[in-house]
Amino acid sequence: MHYDNFFATYLQHLKSEGRYRVFVNLERMVGKAPLALWHHDQIVEEVVVWCSNDYLALSQNPEVVEAMVAAAQTYGSGSGGTRNISGTSHPHVKLEQAIANFHRKEAGLLFSSGYVANEAAISTLASNLPGCIVLSDEKNHASMIQGIRNSRAEKYIFRHNDLADLEAKLKQLPQTQPKLIVFTAVYSMDGDRAPAAEICALAKQYNALTFIDEVHAVGMYGASGAGLSELLGIQDQVDIIQGNFAKGFGVIGGYITGNKNLVDFVRSAASGFIFTTSMPPATAVAILKSMELIENGQKLRAQFWQQVNYFKQQIAKTDLPYRESQGHIVPVVVGDAALCKEICDRLLYEDKIYIQPINYPTVPVGQERLRITITPAHTRDHIDQLLTALQRVYADYKLSKAA
């Protein structure tokens, strides 16, 4: 085996399909969002970022940053161990209680990231519940899919947001057989929302547990920002709520919350929880501050939705091939990987607008797109400039709603 040839051939294949990932080298600047500095070709230029998941710009909030800095000075830079072996600090304990309160559940459990929370919790539940069958929405995130794979449990993939298909699959299974329905509150690449209340009703009817990923909803949805399940008033209907602190919260980390025994079971059995160093206590302190701002963040959420709605009203007046949804993420479809990259490069070089191309395997082949995220930090001028640039570039490639 010529190892280097193998790697080079793989990379060449990605390049030939236009799917080779090129990272944009950004320098974020506190207080300047959505602007950032772009380092490239020995120069540095200011760009407007249109694809960040720092949805509420809380990563640059002075109170959150100060909380993190002060806590690092108090507790140090790292946690010093796994949760079981010296790595449980008081802020971790406080944060887990705060997560449970936030979602009106009995207990919370922290993970290093949302990815790890999904993989660890789903794989642990599905591999330990005897004969568990997982029913998973076809558009679930890679971390949920990996959790299902690692569990080696039998799985049924139901069509995206399709209640009839889910019910048809549930009907085939004995009432007594353990079942886990895994779905997402707001789908990351399409921006659409799950029919979460109806899924929970089916779960009750067919005796299944429900697991919802609220990663793209916490912070922005619900009266206190506790996600789609809060908005729909079904927090008590969902068995396991998963979320993260890296998007709306502007920090890092993931979690699950649910009833005491279930959470204690995952705490006691999940490899991805047990065998890894816990997050720095200073991170937990920053998250607690961020959570406080979110819980009292009605004004911030109103600003967020005002900008999202303005963007949606304005894009609706154009011929751009965007996807409508009830969510805050707006995909504008291209349908070809190389073209998608070319369009993003033109926006970046010509207009200083940064949107990362989204290609396979993140979305299916033929659905390559620009995924646009709006924050309260974007002004109406930013939005108008973006739409003007998008219309110019899409028109050059004859991409429109009708095409």
Ligand X SMILES: Cc1ncc(COP(=O)(O)O)c(C=O)c1O
Residues that are catalytic: 247
With beta carbons less than 8 A apart as the criterion, state whether 358 and 189 touch.
yes
How many amino acids of this chain bind ligand X (CB under 6 A)?
A: 14
The two tokens of residue 91 are 């802020």
Task: Please tell me whether residue 114 binds ligand X under the rule CB under 6 A.
Answer: yes
Smallest separation, CB 69 to ligand X (Å): 22
Smallest separation, CB 372 to ligand X (Å): 15
With beta carbons less than 8 A apart as the criterion, state whether 379 and 306 touch.
no
Smallest separation, CB 119 to ligand X (Å): 9
Smallest separation, CB 319 to ligand X (Å): 29
Q: Out of 181, 203, 246, 340, name the contact with ligand X by CB under 6 A.
A: 246
Q: Which residues of 139-161 are buried (b: 16+ CB within 10 A; e: fewer)?
A: bbbebbbebbebbebebbbbebb
Task: Please tell me whether residue 118 binds ligand X under the rule CB under 6 A.
Answer: yes
**What are the distances in angstroms from CA 27 to CA 45, 67, 106?**
10, 22, 40
Say what angle helices 380-396 and 337-351 make with each other, to 10 degrees: 130
Measured CA to CA, the distance from residue 24 to residue 148 in angstroms comes to 32
Smallest separation, CB 143 to ligand X (Å): 5
Q: Out of 254, 272, 280, 376, name the contact with ligand X by CB under 6 A.
A: 254
Q: 375: Cβ–Cβ under 8 A, 6 or more apart, which residues?
A: 33, 34, 52, 54, 55, 56, 57, 304, 307
Task: Please tell me whether residue 244 binds ligand X under the rule CB under 6 A.
Answer: yes
Range 274-293, binding ligand X (CB under 6 A): none
Task: Please tell me whether residue 184 binds ligand X under the rule CB under 6 A.
Answer: yes
Task: Please tell me whether residue 59 binds ligand X under the rule CB under 6 A.
Answer: no
Task: Please tell me whether residue 143 binds ligand X under the rule CB under 6 A.
Answer: yes
Q: Out of 141, 169, 371, 378, name the contact with ligand X by CB under 6 A.
A: 141
Closer by beta carbon to ligand X, 228 or else 246: 246
Strands (E) across 69-143 are located at 107-111, 133-137
Characterize the bridge pairing of strands 209-213 and 154-158: unpaired
The two tokens of residue 97 are 């209680």
x/- mask, ligand X, residues 196-225, rule CB under 6 A, reads -----------------x-xx---------
Radius of gyration over every alpha carbon of the chain, rounded to an integer in angstroms? 22
Q: Out of 79, 88, 113, 373, name the contact with ligand X by CB under 6 A.
A: 113
**Applying CB under 6 A, which residues contact ligand X?**
113-115, 118, 141, 143, 184, 188, 213, 215-216, 244, 246, 254
